Structure formats: C-alpha cells, structure tokens
Structure 1
Amino acid sequence: MGEKLFHFDELSEQAKVTSIKSFSEFYVRCYRSQNMEILSQVPDQSMLWQINQEVYRNKFESVEHAAKDTIIYCSHSYAKLLSELDMKYFANGNSEITWNEWYDRQFVAAPHGV
C-alpha cells in the first residue's frame, strides 16, 4: 500500500516550505522560457503578477538564485498558487510526480487554443 497523499493546504508548515522550494525553480524556468500557459489558467492571477515581477527583477541571475529570491518576497503568493494547482504531495512536502511531468499532463489535457 502506498503512502498517503495530501493537497497543499493539508501539509504541515515545514512541508509547505519544502514544496514551495521545489516549485519555485520550476516556475522560474517556465517564466524564462515563456511557457506560462498552463500555470496562468488559475482563476485568480494576482499571485502570478507578484511572482513574475520578482522573477523579472532577477532576470540576470541563475535560476537557483532567482528562485530563492522569489521565495523570500513571494512565499505567500506561491502558497496561494500551489493551493489552486492539482498536485498531490507526500507528508514531507515532496510532490507525487515531478513538476515537469505535471506540466506535460496538464498540457495534454488542456483544450485546444490554450
């Protein structure tokens, strides 16, 4: 029998920190490759604007540096975004599948024209 999986909002505070750290690098890579179509499908995009502004401010930094900076200034926005995305997590905050795999699944399932 497999480990129990959780939604982001069900995680402990430490597990949320772990999941945000993991997601932040994926987010920065999506932003920099202009590949935000799937992530921008959330109903409330206000958190995206804040994160995007910080990623842009760090446009000449490494992905790792930019991701760390966005966590400092946008942790609340990441938490809000992760609450809206359909990802399951283990109790420690690690995602069930990689974010790249999640993105690919969402892309295949998206209606034409997104």
Structure 2
Amino acid sequence: MSKKLLKFNQLNEQSQLNSVKGFSQFFVKMYRDRNMEIISADIDNSFLWDIDREVYRNRFESIDHAAKDTVKYCMNNYRAIINDLNVSFLANGTPELPWEEWYQNKYNQTPEGL
C-alpha cells in the first residue's frame, strides 16, 4: 500500500515543524558549501535573506546549532520557501525524497552550461 503524500500547507503544525527542522539542516549545509543556486531558482529570494544572515551569524557554530537558530528566528521564511519548492511530504513532515536526493534530481535537470 502506498503512503499518502501531502503538500507542506496540508501538514499539521507539528509535521510542518518537523519538516522545517529537517530542511534547516540541509539549508545550512548547502549555504556553507555555497550551493544555493538550485534552492534559490524556484522561490522568492527575499525569504532567503533573513535565513542567510542567521547562517552567516552562526558561521563558526555547528550545523546543528546554526540550523536551530535559523528555525528560531526565521520560521516563517522557511515555511514560505518549503511551500514554494512544491515538495511532497509524508504525514509526519518527512519529505518524499531526502533533501539531498531532491537537490541531486534538480541539479540533474539543470540545462548544461548553467
């Protein structure tokens, strides 16, 4: 039996929080690796600015610490970004594909030379 997939805005509050926490870990890692092009391609970039500032402020902290701070101060930004990415989730807020796999799929779909 297949699991029902939901869009971010269909998740309950706790599942949205779980989703944001998972995405924040991925986001901080991508920011530090300077791989933001794929993430920023399909969203309103104004939502990134506050998160980027928090990640930068926490640049000497662990990924876990930086991710927790960004969630604390930028929850609404994360919600908007995840909603704009149009990713499907399980009811508990886990993405259908792990974020790293989602990123690789998007990267593979990018036209050569961009």
TM-score w.r.t. the length of structure 2 is 0.96
Supply the distance in 1 between the matched residues of 2:113 and 2:39 (Cα, whole angstroms): 15
Q: CA deviation at 1:42?
A: 2.5
| Counterpart-to-counterpart distance in 2, 1:43 and 1:29 | 18
In the TM superposition, structure 1's runs of 4+ consecutive aligned residues that sit over 4 Å from their partners are none
The aligned counterpart of 1:56 is: 56
Q: Residue 40 of structure 1 aligns to which amino acid in structure 2?
A: S
Identical aligned pairs, as a percentage?
46
The runs of 5 or more residues in structure 1 that have no matched partner are: none
Aligned ranges 1:29-108 → 2 under 5 Å: 29-108=29-108
TM-align CA RMSD: 1.0
CA distance in 1, matches of 2:43, 2:5: 24
Name the CA distance, whole Å, in 1 between partners of 2:43 and 2:2.
Answer: 32
SS at match of 1:65: helix
Q: TM-score, normalised by structure 1?
A: 0.96
Specify the code of the residue in structure 2 equivalent to 1:107: Y
1:38 match: secondary structure: helix
